[in-house]
Chain A
Amino acid sequence: DAKTTQPTSMDCAEGRAANLPCNHSTISGNEYVYWYRQIHSQGPQYIIHGLKNNETNEMASLIITEDRKSSTLILPHATLRDTAVYYCIVRVGTGGFKTIFGAGTRLFVKA
């Protein structure tokens, strides 16, 4: 699976949009981009995924560049409860391949 690079930590003001970047320059054509987050003392929680097109769901939006070498997770109106570690992962689109987590980005949402 391709390796990802994320900033170690980011701050965001409550109510503002949080934009979390991820570089995945070695991504291959059959690899999806997934985002998970982990709130303290809980297991990772799935947020969103995409292959080529931008995606939006009730939690977030995912913007993938045209060359697919980077992406941005957008939390449109961050709340204090969005403080967590956010993991960007790329992996092939078949069920049996293990998901490799990096260190992620620690997002601090401040009042």
Chain B
Amino acid sequence: GAGVSQSPRYKVAKRGQDVALRCDPISGHVSLFWYQQALGQGPEFLTYFQNEAQLDKSGLPSDRFFAERPEGSVSTLKIQRTQQEDSAVYLCASSLGGFHTSGANVLTFGAGSRLTVL
């Protein structure tokens, strides 16, 4: 597609519910990143995929957070047993280059999915 598409744009969940957030990256982009952005803060890195491989998940805050990209394109971020502190905007970004690509690497972001946990 022309840009990075995320859905849903808004999600309200009751505490304890599971949620799934979807990211459609730009076609052909090798790298995919998930970020979490709390109100008034900069985006915080969660995890990184190169194609279908999850090469870095150091930013996932707990084992309730799980991400996958099974066919190397669409990615899903799943949050189990949501807590109020999970309320944030979840941003997805993709880039053309992979881990061994030299030179500059520009990220294209989606509009984000705003999660509110009541």
Tell me how many residues of B have a C-beta within 8 Å of chain A.
35
- A100 and B59 CA atoms in complex are apart in Å by 11
Specify which chain B residues have a CB less than 8 angstroms from the CB of A98 in the assembled complex.
33, 45, 48, 56, 59
- A102 and B45 CA atoms in complex are apart in Å by 11
- A91 and B101 CA atoms in complex are apart in Å by 13
Specify which chain B residues have a CB less than 8 angstroms from the CB of A97 in the assembled complex.
99, 105
- A94 and B93 CA atoms in complex are apart in Å by 16
B44 in contact (CB, < 8 A): yes
Tell me how many residues of A have a C-beta within 8 Å of chain B.
26
- A46 and B93 CA atoms in complex are apart in Å by 11
- A34 and B109 CA atoms in complex are apart in Å by 14
Specify which chain B residues have a CB less than 8 angstroms from the CB of A93 in the assembled complex.
102-105
Chain B interface (Cβ within 8 Å of chain A)?
4, 30-31, 33, 35, 41-45, 48, 50, 55-56, 59, 91, 93, 95-112
A-B contact pairs, 21 of them (CB 8 A): A43-B109, A43-B110, A43-B111, A44-B91, A44-B109, A45-B109, A91-B105, A94-B99, A94-B102, A95-B99, A96-B56, A96-B97, A96-B98, A96-B99, A96-B100, A96-B101, A98-B33, A99-B33, A99-B45, A99-B107, A103-B42
